[in-house]
Amino acid sequence: MKYIDHHAHMVSRTTDDYAQMALTGCLAVTEPAFWAGWDRSSAQGFEDYFRQLTEFEPKRAAAVGMQHYCWLAMNPKESDDRELSREVLKRIPKFLDRPTVLGIGEIGMNRITRNEVDTYTEQVELAIAHQQLILIHTPHLEDKLKGTRVSVDVLGRYPKLDPARVMVDHAEEHTIEMILADGYWAGLTLYPQTKVSPQRAADMIEKYGPDRICVAGACDWGPSDPLAVPRFAMEMRRRKLPDDLIHRVIYENPVRFLSQSGKFKVARHKLHHEEVKM
Amino acid sequence: MTVQSPLGANELADEYFIETRNRILEIGAFLDRLDRADPSRSARDFRLRALTEALGVLAAAEPNYVSQIQMLLSDPTTEPLPALDRKSAIGAYDHGAQDR
pLDDT at A192: 82
**Residue B1 belongs to a domain:** no
**Residue B14 belongs to a domain:** yes
- Same domain membership, residue B51 and residue B23: no
- Same domain membership, residue B49 and residue B13: no
Angstroms from B3 CA to nearest CA on chain A: 4
The 10s digit of each residue's pLDDT in A216-275 is: 999 999 999 999 999 999 999 999 999 999 999 999 999 999 999 999 986 544 544 444
- Same domain membership, residue B55 and residue B82: yes
Name the residue among B3, B82, B91 with its Cβ closest to that of A205: B3
Q: For residues A149 and A103, give the distance between their C-alpha atoms in angstroms, rounded to a whole number.
A: 22
Q: What is the mean pLDDT of residues A59-63?
A: 97
**Residue B2 belongs to a domain:** no
* Helix/strand/coil percentages in chain A, nearest 5: 50, 15, 35
Q: For residues A103 and A69, give the distance between their C-alpha atoms in angstroms, rounded to a whole number.
A: 10
The 10s digit of each residue's pLDDT in A174-220 is: 999 999 999 999 999 998 888 899 999 999 999 999 999 999 999 99
A111 to B66: CB separation less than 8 angstroms, yes or no: no
ipTM of the shown complex: 0.94
**Residue B88 belongs to a domain:** yes
User: What residues 7-36 of chain B have any CB closer than 8 A to a CB of chain A?
Assistant: 7, 15-16
**Overall size of chain A counted in residues:** 278
- Same domain membership, residue B51 and residue B20: no
Give the range among A117-121, A136-140, A163-167, A272-276 with minimum mean pLDDT: A272-276
Q: Which residue type is seen at A98?
A: R
In angstroms and rounded to an integer, the radius of gyration of the C-alpha atoms of chain A is 17
Q: What is the extent of the structural domain holding B80?
A: 45-94
Name the residue among A146, A153, A203 with its Cβ closest to that of B75: A146
- Same domain membership, residue B33 and residue B15: yes
Q: Does B51 touch chain A (CB under 8 A)?
A: no
- Same domain membership, residue B79 and residue B49: yes
**Residue B99 belongs to a domain:** no
What mean pLDDT value characterizes chain A? Answer: 95
**Residue B56 belongs to a domain:** yes
A241 to B3: CB separation less than 8 angstroms, yes or no: yes
pLDDT at B97: 78
Q: Does A94 touch chain B (CB under 8 A)?
A: no
Chain A residues touching residue B82 (CB < 8 angstroms): 113-114
Q: What is the mean pLDDT of residues A135-157?
A: 98
Longest CA span, chain B: 52
- Same domain membership, residue B54 and residue B85: yes
- Same domain membership, residue B22 and residue B55: no
DSSP string, A184-213: -EEEEEB-SSSSB-HHHHHHHHHHH-STTE
Give the range among A48-57, A75-84, B34-43, B70-79 with minimum mean pLDDT: B34-43
Which tops the pLDDT comparison, B4 or A143?
A143
- Same domain membership, residue B68 and residue B33: no
Which residues face A277 on adjacent strands? none
Name the residue among A77, A149, A150 with its Cβ closest to that of B87: A77
**Overall size of chain B counted in residues:** 100
What percent of chain A is predicted at pLDDT more than 90? 93
Query: How many structural domains does chain B have?
Result: 2
pLDDT at A269: 42
Chain A residues touching residue B78 (CB < 8 angstroms): 146, 149-150, 153
Angstroms from A196 CA to nearest CA on chain B: 11
**Residue B100 belongs to a domain:** no
Are the C-beta atoms of A67 and A61 separated by less than 8 Å?
A: yes
- Same domain membership, residue B78 and residue B50: yes
DSSP label at B80? P
- Same domain membership, residue B65 and residue B83: yes
DSSP string, A204-263: HHHHH-STTEEEE----SSS--TTHHHHHHHHHHHTT--HHHHHIIIIIHHHHHHGGGS-
Q: What is the mean pLDDT of residues A56-75?
A: 97
What percent of chain B is predicted at pLDDT more than 70? 97
**Residue B84 belongs to a domain:** yes
Name the residue among B2, B15, B80 with its Cβ closest to that of A208: B2
pLDDT at B99: 62
φ/ψ bin of B93: left (φ > 0), alpha (ψ from -120 to 50), beta (otherwise):
beta
Q: Which residue type is seen at A255?
A: V
Q: Does A234 touch chain B (CB under 8 A)?
A: no
- pLDDT tier, A276 (very low <50, low <70, confident <90, very high otherwise): very low
Q: Does A117 touch chain B (CB under 8 A)?
A: yes
Q: What is the mean pLDDT of residues A128-134?
A: 98
pLDDT at B100: 61
Q: For residues B15 and A246, give the distance between their C-alpha atoms in angstroms, rounded to a whole number.
A: 20
Name the residue among A172, A240, A245 with its Cβ closest to that of B70: A172
